Structure 1
Amino acid sequence: MVKKERGLPEGYYLNKVIVAIVIAAIWLLFKVSTGSEVTGYMMAFSGISVLLYPYSRFFYEKIISYVVADNKLYFPVLVFIVVKLITMCLCWFFSFLIAPVGLAYLFYSRPVFDSSHSDGQP
């Protein structure tokens, strides 16, 4: 039996997909409210972005945790929320560019354990 540890943390993918669906719905509703017609291209883009957003956001969060490290940053709550919403939207809109890097990061950074030997010996 091979236990694969590659992938997003448990529950992370579903959480981020729900967020991505909300972003897609808001974007499509905005398009409709401005009088634009929702095209098949927009629907395909939204669907792909929803599926790739978790990997995009994961990679973004890894970069931010590397840059910030153990430092504590203090911002007004309103500034924090606005910046977070902007970064969420950017990760969603550019998920087709960011997600492949995030997937490569997951592939190369996570170990794969081969537990095919029940006694633990090779």
Structure 2
Amino acid sequence: MHPVIQKTLGGLSTQYYFRQFFFGLAVATFVFFMSAQGDRSMSAGMLFFTVVSTFLYPYSRFVYESIVGFIMGENVFFVNAIFMMISKFVTMAMCWVFAIFVAPIGLAYLYYHHSKAER
């Protein structure tokens, strides 16, 4: 595999990538389900966006979790479970929708991190 691809797309652990990919598929499934409810079918552009967002979602989520981890540190908050599940779903949906914009930041960081580790 090409070193650039290995350092970027292969930069996340397999377990983390597939876990986040599963949740990205869940969001994509919801989008497909909602688009099937109307009279019109999903456009080719929307289909392309859905596929790209699903594959980039793990990198987008990586950026989100890194930022939240930096801001929150090791603090633990005890909140209502329903509130927590709703906020998790909202952040997952936002990471999926904006994955095409946010994921390149994660890919650039992974490339930098793995290049630095090589030296």
Query: TM-score band (shorter)?
Result: 0.7 to 0.9
Count of equivalent residues: 112
Instruction: Tell me whether 1:113 sits opposite 2:118 in the alignment.
Output: yes
Give the conservation status (yes or no) of the 8 Å contact 2:63–2:105.
Answer: yes
Task: Tell me, yes or no, if structure 1 residue 15 matches structure 2 residue 24.
Answer: no
Distance 1:15 1:67 in 2: 23
Give me the whole-angstrom Cα distance separating, in 2, the residues matched to 1:101 and 1:95.
Answer: 10
Q: Do 1:56 and 1:95's aligned partners in 2 also have CA atoms closer than 8 Å?
A: yes
TM-score by length of 1: 0.82
1:86-101 equivalences under 5 Å are 86-101=90-105
2:35 matched residue in structure 1: 31
Inter-partner Cα distance in structure 2 for 1:5 and 1:49: 20
* Partners of 2:91 and 2:34 in 1: CA distance: 18
| Aligned-partner Cα distance in 1 for 2:17–2:37 | 30
SS of residue matched to 1:8 = coil
Aligned to 2:52: 48
Deviation by residue 1:51-71 (Cα, 9 ceiling, x = unmatched) = 100000011000011111011
Which whole-Å deviations, capped at 9, do the CAs of 1:31-75 have from their partners, x for residues lacking one? 221334211111101110111000000110000111110111121
* Residue 91 of structure 1: how far off its partner (Å): 0.3
- Residues 5 and 112 in structure 1, CA contact (< 8 A), matched pair in contact too: no
Pairwise CA distance, 1:22: 1.4
- Calculate percent identity across the aligned residue pairs: 29
Instruction: Find the structure with the greater CA-based Rg.
Output: 1
Provide the C-alpha distance between the structure 2 equivalents of 1:39 and 1:5, rounded to a whole number of angstroms.
34
TM-score scaled by length of structure 2 = 0.84
Query: Tell me, which stretches of 5 or more residues in structure 1 are unaligned?
Result: 115-122
- Give me the whole-angstrom Cα distance separating, in 2, the residues matched to 1:112 and 1:66: 21
Distance 1:81 1:35 in 2: 31
In structure 2, the gaps of 5 or more residues are none
Return the structure number with greater helix share.
2
